[in-house]
Amino acid sequence: MKTIIKRANNDDIKKDDLAEAGEILRKGGLVAFPTETVYGLGANAFDSEASGKIYSAKGRPSDNPLIIHIADINMVNDIAENISIEAKRLMEKFWPGPLTIVFKKKEKVPYETTGGLDTVAVRMPSHQIARKIIESAGVPIAAPSANKSGRPSPTKVEHVIDDLNGRIEMIIDGGQVGIGIESTIIDMSDKTPMILRPGFITKTMIEEEIGTVLVDKVVTARSINDLEDESYVPKAPGMKYRHYAPKADLTMFEGSIENVTKKINDLVLQDIKQGKKAGIICTDETLHCYNSGLIVSVGSRDNNDTIAHNLYSVLRDFDKTDVEKIYSETFFDSNLGQAIMNRMIKAAGYKVEKV
């Protein structure tokens, strides 16, 4: 299949391109487009065949449900049932924006879209191009991140092209996205709300609106042992898969800056002696502490927004090199930092060493 690639300038997309994207989606095709979090791969959420195409284009396991994107707050009523007062409060406060809410699904939402679940995840993006595309399609749009399953989510159009060119009908190039990591997911379908995936909208921000919420174990797990209890099943099925994984073997090191930089420098030297190339993920403040290896800063330690913005791009850039090992510092675990650490720990396959 030849993929049509169209450029949209500064959130402004040509009328003809918008009409074409809308028509492709209505007819059951796939269009990748930017959102404020990461690029999404869209299909008509009410068309089970179209949703099915998402799974094959991404190589995604069929039990991993899709998030439905809407352009107007009222569209939620076509999709979700039993919307609580607390959920309404979250919608009013955080929509449009990077918060996904899980509800009980309406019958008309096909199980192909929800991965067989009776619940449905809904989000109203704030990105103007995403909004205009959904409006142009005139239907709710199921959209996972526009990457091949298991790879870091795309934050630049090159990432989408690398993973999906030739596999989908259209890609809208809206430049680099703002936030850089996927939306926060909160389950509001049960009595007690529970955060299933951390993101830009933090627990504190949510609790200010609706009081105490629970956090799924998968969010805070620091080691694979934390999740090995047989009775434990993550509520967001996607969280159980090894995600965001770079090709090289990634390990994180936690401890004082002195200990971490020394440990990483020693390991890189050992690798060099063995003829292996190593990469280092560090921060602006520690960049000067390293001597050899492919050294990359993800931004300032004090600015989680920048780290989130750069993270996936840094991981993907390593895939273009021949490094076999990547050593990374850990990052502050508060607010957005929790989402950053959650994604990094998963990328590292839970290999976090204390030094």
Shortest spacing between CB 7 and ligand TXA, in angstroms? 19
Tell me which amino acid residue 83 is.
I
Token representation of residue 136: 């142009």
Which of 145, 283, 310, 330 contacts Mg ion by CB under 5 A?
145
Q: Three-class SS string for the chain?
A: CCCEEEECECCECCHHHHHHHHHHHHCCCCEEECCCCCCEEEEECCCHHHHHHHHHHHCCCCCCCCEEECCCHHHHHHCEECCCHHHHHHHHHHCCCCEEEEEEECCCCCCCCCCCCCEEEEECCCCHHHHHHHHHHCCCEECCECCCCCCCCCCCHHHHHHHHCCCCCEEEECCCCCCCCCCEEEECCCCCCEEEECCCCCHHHHHHHHCCCEECHHHHCCCHHHHCCCCCCCCCHHHHCCCCCCCCEEEEEECCHHHHHHHHHHHHHHHHHCCCCEEEEECCCCHHHCCCCEEEECCCCCCHHHHHHHHHHHHHHHHCCCCCEEEEECCCCCCHHHHHHHHHHHHCCCCEEEC
Examine residue 38 and tell whether it contacts ligand TXA (CB under 6 A): yes
Examine residue 117 and tell whether it contacts ligand TXA (CB under 6 A): yes
The smaller minimum CB distance to ligand TXA, of residues 260 and 315, is found at 315
Shortest spacing between CB 253 and ligand TXA, in angstroms? 27
Q: Which stretch binds Mg ion (CB under 5 A): 3-11, 56-64, 143-151, 268-276?
A: 143-151
Examine residue 144 and tell whether it contacts ligand TXA (CB under 6 A): yes
Examine residue 149 and tell whether it contacts ligand TXA (CB under 6 A): no
Tell me, by CB under 6 A, how many residues bind ligand TXA: 30
Shortest spacing between CB 81 and ligand TXA, in angstroms? 13
Examine residue 343 and tell whether it contacts ligand TXA (CB under 6 A): no
Identify which of 109, 88, 122 has the alpha carbon closest to the alpha carbon of residue 45: 109
Shortest spacing between CB 31 and ligand TXA, in angstroms? 12
Q: Which stretch binds Mg ion (CB under 5 A): 27-35, 47-55, 144-152, 279-287?
A: 144-152
Identify which of 6, 348, 296 has the alpha carbon closest to the alpha carbon of residue 168: 6
Identify which of 155, 184, 124 has the alpha carbon closest to the alpha carbon of residue 339: 184
The smaller minimum CB distance to ligand TXA, of residues 260 and 308, is found at 308
Examine residue 330 and tell whether it contacts ligand TXA (CB under 6 A): no
Examine residue 237 and tell whether it contacts ligand TXA (CB under 6 A): yes
Shortest spacing between CB 9 and ligand TXA, in angstroms? 21
Examine residue 100 and tell whether it contacts ligand TXA (CB under 6 A): yes
Strands 4-7 and 170-173: parallel
The smaller minimum CB distance to ligand TXA, of residues 119 and 283, is found at 119
Examine residue 235 and tell whether it contacts ligand TXA (CB under 6 A): yes
Which of 18, 79, 102, 129 contacts ligand TXA by CB under 6 A?
102
325: which residues sit within 8 A by CB, 6+ positions away? 248, 249, 250, 251, 267, 271, 276, 278, 279
Q: Which stretch binds ligand TXA (CB under 6 A): 37-45, 78-86, 298-306, 337-345?
A: 37-45
From the list Mg ion, ligand TXA, none, partner contacted by residue 40 (C-beta under 5 to 8 A by kind):
ligand TXA
Shortest spacing between CB 120 and Mg ion, in angstroms? 17
From the list ligand TXA, Mg ion, none, partner contacted by residue 117 (C-beta under 5 to 8 A by kind):
ligand TXA
Which of 124, 160, 164, 196 contacts ligand TXA by CB under 6 A?
196
Site residues, ligand TXA (CB under 6 A): 35, 37-38, 40, 64-67, 98, 100, 102, 114, 117, 119-121, 123, 143-145, 182-183, 185, 196-197, 235-239
The residue ranges that bind Mg ion (CB under 5 A) are 145
